Structure 1
Amino acid sequence: MMRKYGVADTTFSRVDMGSIAIKTINKEDSDAEILRYTVPGIKDLPVAAKKLIEEGCNGVITLGWVGKTMLDKYSYLAASIGLITVQILTSTHVIDVTVHEDEADSEEKLKQIAIDRASKHAKNLVLLVKEGKNALTPYAGKGLRQGYNNAGPID
């Protein structure tokens, strides 16, 4: 069975995380079909994810960028609720990947966070789509992080 992945990203992002996710998915699942849908901003991601699922995607990764203002944070909250709603309505994983401009003090650090987060979450999506609901169970409680070094478990 051909697995189909959706990649939804935004023009507001300052790093092309969509291309990073696609490269990672292709590496992890060479038989995959990938559909990409680019929208202006994070509040457009829920409908993009839903349309990708309607086009047959077995899972979707959304990649957004959140500015520094309170308005940006409220916009992210609205988008996040929309993405959760899409997951509930479709019973399909939508992995929400965002970079917040205020989580680093340099553009280079933001770029590294974006690359790390997009690639690690793309791997998570592939595991969930290929192997199902127990695919990530061996990693539970390990303190794994996306965008930063792993925190590690507390023994």
Structure 2
Amino acid sequence: MPTIGIADTTFARCNMGAAAVDELKQHINAKLIRVTVPGIKDLPVAAKKLIEEQNCDIVMALGMPGSKPQDKTCAHEASTGIIAAQLMTNKHIIEVFVHEDEGRDDKELSFLMDSRTREHAKNVVKMLQSPEQMIKEAGTGQREGFADAKPLGR
């Protein structure tokens, strides 16, 4: 049975961790370990600890950067840290960020946070159980949270 880590934040305006847990439970029999940290810059170490201390096979790092320029910088720093944690552990950490300015209003933002989280949870399941499905989807313009982009047809 695989072990999946879920790291989310208190800064997010929706409970992305709960959405991830709910979606994963619908699609895979796995041990789920969830931790919550204050903000997105805390996600890299939380994810690394889930892998190294809890033996997670894969981790979802869920967060909501704000809309101000300094929030964009923090998101970049967090993303860089997540990449470093992946390289240090040789395990995937699926970054699921929804920027506060991606939605036109709170309703759209809430929808986006839920749908992006759930679609990435399904990606985690595919990566663990059927990586060949990911190969079949290569170049198809998959977008998590919004409508898929049209493939270029090559």
Q: TM-score range by the shorter chain?
A: over 0.9
1:43 counterpart residue number: 41
- 1:78-116 CA distances to partner (integer Å, 9 max, x unpaired)? 100000001111110100001101112200000111111
Segments of 5+ residues of structure 2 without an aligned counterpart are: none
2:115 counterpart residue number: 116
1:16 counterpart residue number: 15
Aligned-pair CA distance for 1:123: 0.7
Alignment of 1:5-154 (within 5 A): 5-29=4-28, 31-54=29-52, 55-132=54-131, 134-154=132-152
Aligned-pair CA distance for 1:52: 0.6
Aligned-CA RMSD value: 1.0
CA distance in 2, matches of 1:52, 1:131: 23
SS at match of 1:35: strand
Residue 125 of structure 1 aligns with an amino acid whose one-letter code is V
What is the aligned residue count? 152
Aligned-pair CA distance for 1:131: 3.1
Cα separation, partners in 2 of 1:135 and 1:85, compared to 1, 3 Å: farther
CA distance in 2, matches of 1:16, 1:136: 27
- 1:32-64 CA distances to partner (integer Å, 9 max, x unpaired)? 100001000000000100011011110000100
Residue 106 of structure 2 aligns with an amino acid whose one-letter code is E
Question: Does structure 2 retain, via aligned residues, the 8 Å contact 1:3–1:130?
Answer: no
Residue 129 of structure 2 aligns with an amino acid whose one-letter code is K
Residue 60 of structure 2 aligns with an amino acid whose one-letter code is I
Aligned-pair CA distance for 1:75: 0.5
Segments of 5+ residues of structure 1 without an aligned counterpart are: none
Normalization by structure 2: what TM-score? 0.95
Normalization by structure 1: what TM-score? 0.95
Percentage of pairs with the same residue: 43
CA distance in 1, matches of 2:135, 2:86: 20
